[in-house]
Amino acid sequence: MQFCSKSLLNSLYLHWPFCPYKCHFCPFVAIASHDQFMPDYQKALKKEILDFAKNFNKESSIKSVFLGGGTPSTCPNNLLLDTFDILNSVFSFEKNAEISIEVNPGTVKPGQLEVWKLAGINRLSIGIQSLNDDVLKKLNRHQTSADVFALIENASKIFENISVDLIIGLPGVTEQEWKDLILKIGSWPIKHLSIYFLTVHEDTPLYFGVKKNKIILPPDNQIIELYYWSINKLKEFGFNQYEISNFAKQGYESTHNSAYWKRLPYKGFGLGACSFDGQSRFQNEKNLMTYMNNLNEGRETTIFAEKLEIHQIWLEKLMLGIRQIKGVEINELIQNLNEEKKIKFLNKINDLQKQNLISFDGDVLKLSHQGLALENQIVLELAIN
């Protein structure tokens, strides 16, 4: 199965898998201590882009690009500039396209911010997670609060659109430390903020530490209370919540993330990168040497391809729609259900309404304030076979 070349592409994703270290909570396709392969990887990445560009829909006007990882801020300047030269040579971009790069504090070298600006990058997504140096060190994240403050100060002189990522529920972060972090952020020159609940992914060092009771996670009720406190405090600072984990100043909602939630076609390039053409989902090879060798020898890089069935599309519309604060239109969810499933679904909605977990705004189904932190359970409850 191939990515549908007739799809009107909305967004591009480029994966840079290299990291100076790998955090103990990280489940992503990321590799440490392999910097010697950076030039060969970028060569393979370029080839994947050029091979795809031969057949894709030239009427596409790209609205966003996201360079993620891994740690893209470790990409050497010459390789990054060369990659963006290739992108600009084969794709058409909207005038105000959002071009983002993920940045880890402590990895940015002098002059690098200026190079990113020159390449066309106009948005930074900075992974802060916490300002507790000891907590981060125990999770093998080698950055300090001093690194964060220096990066925010320097980046704000060059970039207007800065986003920061936080993780709520990290072991060892006290309630007061979290509140102090949010209060500090309120005065920072940033436009966007993401707060992710800590997820303990299987086969990570964090998972084994929790399993052996060597790492104690904060109780769920404390995390939920802090999440709601954060929502209210961020609103005071002018950050409006537009998705369960995302907050933005007016007009600075993420174009790229919104494309995922709206199920718009996007193409991912690089190790383990995912794509969606509007009908099917794909994932690239996740082994570094295999990925590079396949491209160099003209072999397929896709290791997973799936054409979505009707019930999968329905479930995606529910999950992705209800995550957004604006909600999802009920007619979009029930229009293709048979009578039996429609009655079952509406009965479940009625039950959740009685529990004040969801609500209606006209014909739009939304999570209530109380339901925001329980989205996973609510989706499972609403899912019908």
pLDDT digits (tens, 9 = 90+) for 48-90: 999 999 988 888 999 999 999 999 999 999 999 999 999 999 9
Which tens digits make up the pLDDT trace of 181-199? Answer: 999 999 999 999 999 999 8
Count CB neighbours of 341 within 10 A.
15
pLDDT tens-digit readout, 318-350: 999 999 999 999 999 998 889 999 999 999 999
Is residue 384 scored above 80 in pLDDT? no
Tokens in use for 281?
């989902």
C-alpha to C-alpha distance for 385 and 377, rounded to whole angstroms = 16
Mean pLDDT value of segment 114-119: 98
Look at residue 355 and tell me whether its pLDDT is greater than 90. Answer: yes
Give the closest residue to 6 by CA, choosing from 272, 261, 270, 279. Answer: 279
Q: Per-residue pLDDT tens for 2-54?
A: 898 788 999 999 999 999 988 888 888 899 999 999 999 999 999 999 999 99
pLDDT at 263 over 80: yes
Q: Is the pLDDT of residue 260 over 90?
A: yes
Structure confidence at residue 58 (pLDDT): 85
Query: Is residue 171 scored above 80 in pLDDT?
Result: yes
Task: State what percent of residues in the chain have pLDDT above 70.
Answer: 100
Domains 11-261 and 310-382 share a fold: no
- Distance CA(53)–CA(34), nearest Å, equals 28
Confidence at residue 210, expressed as pLDDT on a 0 to 100 scale: 86
Return the domain boundaries, the chain.
11-261, 310-382
pLDDT digits (tens, 9 = 90+) for 281-305: 999 999 999 999 999 999 999 999 9
Task: Note the pLDDT tens digit of each residue in 303-320.
Answer: 999 999 999 999 999 999
> Would you state the pLDDT for residue 382?
92
- ∠ CA 260-261-262, nearest 5°, is 90
The pTM of the full predicted model, rounded to 2 decimals, is: 0.95
pLDDT of 385:
63
The CATH number, out of the four listed (3.20.20.80, 3.40.50.10320, 1.10.630.10, 3.20.20.70), of the domain defined by the range 11-261: 3.20.20.70
DSSP 8-class letter at 32: E
> Does the structural domain 310-382 have CATH classification 2.60.40.10?
no
Supply the mean pLDDT for the chain: 94
> CA 65, CA 58: separation in Å to the nearest integer?
17
278 close to 293: Cβ distance less than 8 angstroms: no
Weakest-pLDDT range from 206-210, 273-277, 325-329: 206-210
Q: What is the DSSP letter of 299?
A: -
